[in-house]
Structure 1
Amino acid sequence: MAIIKPFQALRPKQELADKVASRPYDVLNSSEAKEEAKGNPYSFLHITKAEIDLPEGTDIHSQAVYDQAGHNLMDFQHKGIIFAESKPCYYIYRLIMDGRSQTGLVCVSSVQDYFDDVIKKHEFTRPEKEKDRIDHMKTIRAQTGNVFLAYNNVTEIDTIVNNWKAQNAPAYDFRAEDGIQHTLWVVSDDRAVADITKIFAEKVPATYIADGHHRAASAAKVSKEIRNSTDAGYFLTTIFPASELAIMDYNRVVKDLNGYTTKDFIAALQDDFMITSSPEAVKPAHQHEFGMYLDNQWYILTCRKDTYTTDPIGVLDVTILSNNVLDKLLAIKDQRTDKRIDFVGGIRGLGELEKRVNSGEMKVAFSLYPVTIQQLFDIADSGNVMPPKSTWFEPKLRDGLLTHSI
């Protein structure tokens, strides 16, 4: 069963919350982070992307960057920009994007649950990305990046969360520059805190990493190195009930056709797909349907039934595309390392696929139907992993609203 705890968050003064809150460190490069934080000394990017305060060209993985992050975190506390909660609390975090709302519980989850597979994974991690967060955490002695978990709904938890939202004023409530509304409540009542902890321990057999595999893996490894800290045995998570979540498509663009002409490539595709041209951009309407953009033309690709298996991995559209197109025809064997392929989150729209191809940077684009939450759960339960870049979640949690000291 899932072990979670309340914690004493470092969080911003109410009037500064919208200025402190920043987009996650891993969705911005250094120049984008510097531009986004320009003129805002309160931006949490000064902590998560501290290279923005160092000379141009500084190695972003150097100790100087992590030292600067630690200095900036201490400075934020000394100036009263952020403060430590007076007691361990849970936090309720609601995001609203395009009229759709999702609400999760912010807590710290047990590292031992991560090792014991109570917290289930569906992706491989990359050592270099882990090391970056390990060095960041160890230097600043805090977890700034939230791990996004999901679980099957439990009525009692839903009731507590909904009642608390209805009966209490939020600590923060603001609309970010991208139009997403962020609202956060502090659950400080000892009875409510105890009830939440107990219900998770009794009724939630597993949680699932939706987004943040590298942050989770890094926190787990840090816990083995910082043995004198009880707090390091837990890591910062926001846990969402499955009914609140929606996964967006995660599309692919490829630089070349591996020697095929357009005509020959389409002919080769017909072994595994039925193909029709489309006068407009193709957003797949159902599973096993794909869009393809090639030479200023959109196509609908519908896979033939004998092209896939029905096991949890084989039935995924990302697997079907990988096996029957990327590997078989385009010779892309490892999507994590092959430089000929790139990935475009569905939040960017189909226009981004057209743009990448029309510019000449890429030759062909594929739009996919999104993976479902249940598929994610099924794969994690089976002990398998998804192909790289299978899921894209929006809206994303902001860094800086809640930080876990270790």
Structure 2
Amino acid sequence: MADISPLRALHYDLDRTGGLERVAAPPYDVIDPEQRERLLALSPYNVVAIDLPRADPGGDPYAQAAATLRAWRDGGVVVTDPEPALWALEQDYTGPDGARRTRRGVFARVRVEDYGRGRIRPHERTHPGPKEDRLRLTRATRANLSPIFSLYDGDAWSPLAPHLGRAPFGELTDDDGTTHRLWRVGDRDAIAAAQEALEPAELLIADGHHRYETARAYAQEVGGDGAHRHTLMCLVSLGDPGLTIFPTHRLLTDLDDARRIALREAIRRDWEIEEVGDEELEPPQDGRIRIGYLDAHHDRPLRLTLKDPAIASAALPGKPAAYRRLDTAVTEALLLQGALAMSEDDISHLRGLEYARSTADARHRIRSGDAQAGLFMGPAPVALVREVAAAGEVMPPKSTYFFPKVLTGMLFNPL
């Protein structure tokens, strides 16, 4: 089981910053230079100053981040919580499907361990390794500046809910229209009850694999026991009604004539083919393996339905039944690895393969010539993700797209 505990967080003094809205930011890896400058224009204390540091020519950006954080702490802009606490997060959002929902999560400190069933696992197949950039930043600042988003089976929210009747510690609405509300819960009985609910939980890393690998590398580098053996996570229950999973579509590039023919023959052999409209490329959930298909040559949106579940069983020998019901797993086995002879390494390093998170973007990239064809996935049901995890399996890359993101700058974990 994972080791989960409350944390003595570092956080902004919101009276000094004018609230969270001016200082929080999206995860560093989705921020371009222009957005970074816009965020810093909101406040010189915006978290990008330390999480995405820049230095003058010849300077060290990581030393700059450490000096900036130290100055903020010395000046009382960032303060240390006097006692350990759990932090409750509500996110009111409109998903890519247009529906309005509320997702709930708990910020906690989690002990860094090697991957293993029953403890902490990636929920998708990934080969990130620690990022040197993130490792150098962790060494310099001696803090987790950005949380890892993880899933668990259980309910740690209910023990905290009675303590959320007061105004939140902080609240903001981001550029996507998502409203984030954060409460500190220091009540010992509530913390103990939440820990008890989390005690048997296996954690599935949904977003932040690089950050977790970096935390592991840092813990091993420092050695011994201590705060450096823990990392900051936002834990969301697989049973949370606001947890939704959206699809990521596959774009095929560098298709020569031989691979086009192989793909066409595999589709005709294993799939029923139906012509549909543009808006129907993303298939609905109905229990069958169904995907959308569009290529630049014919420009005819198609829906492909697997002719027989036995085809998936034969293509995925030894895999549990839940895994064989994943459209991403069947597509990978039959079309990417089967028809197009892609290796796992090809898929991991995006050789001949790219991804798009929206149907409209995928269609545009195909029709503009950026990609030769697209395979359109449906959203993976949360119940199926749960089944796959319970069977001890790891899903193919980009099987899920979790929205909204957990922002950076709401809390930091000192190491």
- For 1:300-339, list aligned pairs within 5 A: 300-305=303-308, 306-309=310-313, 311=320, 312-333=322-343, 334-339=346-351
Looking at structure 2, the residues matched to 339 and 77 of structure 1 have their Cα atoms a distance apart, in angstroms, of 45
CA, structure 1 residues 32+290, in 2 after alignment: closer, same or farther (shift >3 Å)?
farther
1:209 to 183, 205, 212: 205
Within the candidate set 390, 396, 407, 1:387 is matched to 396
Q: Is the 8 A contact 1:120 1:381 kept in 2?
A: no
Is 1:358 the equivalent of 2:367?
Answer: yes
Partner Cα distance (1:264, 1:257) in 2: 10
Which residue matches 2:234? 238
Q: Which residue of 2 aligns with 1:258?
A: 256
- Is contact 1:33-1:49 (8 Å) kept? no
Residues 68 and 267 of structure 1, relative CA distance in 2, 3 Å threshold: same
Question: How many pairs does the alignment contain?
Answer: 390
Pairing 1:156-171 to 2, within 5 Å after superposition: 157-165=156-164, 167-171=165-169
| SS state at 1:100 partner | strand
Residues 168, 144 of structure 1: CA spacing in aligned structure 2 closer, same or farther, 3 A cutoff? same
Residue 67 of structure 2 is aligned to residue 71 of structure 1: yes
Deviation at 1:362, TM superposition (A): 1.0
The alpha-carbon deviation at position 257 of structure 1 amounts to 2.9
Per-residue deviation, 1:35: 4.2
1:89 aligns with 2:91: no
Which of 323, 341, 344 is the aligned partner of 2:353? 341
Q: How much has 1:265 moved relative to structure 2?
A: 4.7
Answering whether residue 206 of structure 2 is matched by residue 196 of structure 1, we say: no
The structural deviation recorded for 1:160 is 1.7
TM-score, normalised with respect to structure 2? 0.86
Distance 2:116 2:284 in 1: 38
Cα distance in structure 2, aligned partners of 1:88 and 1:146: 17
Select the residue among 31, 38, 41 that pairs with 1:39.
Answer: 41
1:376 to 354, 377, 385: 385
Structure 1 equivalent of residue 184 of structure 2:
186
- Residue 227 of structure 1 corresponds to 223
Q: Within 2, Cα distance between the matches of 1:255 and 1:180?
A: 34
Alignment map for 1:15-26 (pairs within 5 Å): 15-26=18-29
Residue in structure 2 matched with residue 176 of structure 1 by the alignment: 174
Structure 1 residue 301: deviation in Å? Answer: 0.9
- Higher mean C-alpha deviation, range 298-307 or range 382-391: 382-391
Instruction: Find the aligned partners of 2:311 and 2:65 in 1 and give their Cα distance.
Output: 50
Q: What's 1:275 paired with? A: 273
What is the CA-CA distance between 1:108 and the residue it aligns to? Answer: 0.4
Contact in 1 for aligned 2:171/2:179 (Cα 8 Å): yes
Query: Matches of 1:216 and 1:303 in 2, distance apart?
Result: 37
Query: Residue by residue, what CA displacement relative to the aligned partner does 1:317-363 show, whole Å, maximum 9, x if unpaired?
Result: 11111122122233332211133211122xxx211011111221111
Q: 1:64 to 1:231 in 2, by over 3 A?
A: same
Q: Are residue 109 (structure 1) and residue 124 (structure 2) matched?
A: no
Q: Secondary structure at the match of 2:73?
A: helix
Q: Quick one: distance in 2 between partners of 1:122 and 1:7?
A: 25
Q: Is the 8 A contact 2:312 2:324 kept in 1?
A: yes
- Structure 1 residues 13, 231: closer, same or farther in 2, change over 3 A? same
Report the 3-state secondary structure (helix = DSSP H, G, I; strand = E; otherwise coil) of the residue aligned with 1:39: helix
Alpha-carbon distance in structure 1 between the residues aligned to 2:82 and 2:361: 46
Contact 1:130–1:214, Cα closer than 8 Å, also in 2: yes
Residue identity matched to 1:291: G
**Map of 1:152 onto structure 2:** 153
Please name the residue that 2:316 is paired with: none
Q: TM-score, normalised by structure 1?
A: 0.87
**Percentage of pairs with the same residue:** 25
CA distance in 1, matches of 2:40, 2:210: 28
Could you tell me which residue of structure 2 aligns to residue 3 of structure 1?
A: 3
Q: 1:129 to 1:219 in 2, by over 3 A?
A: closer
Task: Give the structure 2 partner of residue 12 of structure 1.
Answer: 12
Q: What per-residue deviation string (whole Å, max 9, x for no partner) do you get for residues 291-317 of structure 1?
A: 112233311111121320262433321
Q: Does 1:404 align with 2:400?
A: no
User: 1:195 Cα shift?
Assistant: 3.1
C-alpha displacement at 1:120, in angstroms?
A: 2.7
Shift of 1:136: 1.9
| CA separation of 1:161 and 1:192: change in aligned 2, threshold 3 A | closer
Q: Does the CA contact (< 8 Å) of 2:259 and 2:340 recur in 1?
A: no
**1:49 counterpart = 2:76:** no
* More displaced 10-residue stretch of structure 1: 274-283 or 101-110: 274-283
Give the Cα–Cα distance (whole angstroms) in 1 for the partners of residues 130 and 307 of structure 2: 38
Paired with 2:370 and 2:37, the residues of 1 have a C-alpha distance of: 25
Unaligned stretches of 5+ in structure 1? none
Q: 1:356, 1:362 within 8 Å by CA — same for their partners in 2?
A: yes
Q: Is the 8 A contact 1:121 1:380 kept in 2?
A: no
Deviation of 1:192 after TM superposition, in Å, equals 2.2
**CA 1:35–1:359 in 2, change beyond 3 Å: closer, same or farther?**
farther
1:28 maps to: 31
For 1:375 and 1:132, locate their aligned partners in 2 and report how far apart those are by CA, in whole Å: 35
Query: What is the Cα deviation at residue 393 of structure 1?
Result: 0.5
Contact 2:130–2:217 under 8 Å retained in 1? no
Say if 1:365 and 1:235 are closer, same or farther in 2 by CA, change over 3 A: same
Residue pair 1:292, 1:364 contacting (<8 A) in 2 also:
yes
Counterpart contact for 1:275–1:301, Cα < 8 Å: yes
Preserved contact between residue 258 and residue 330 of structure 1 (Cα < 8 Å) = no
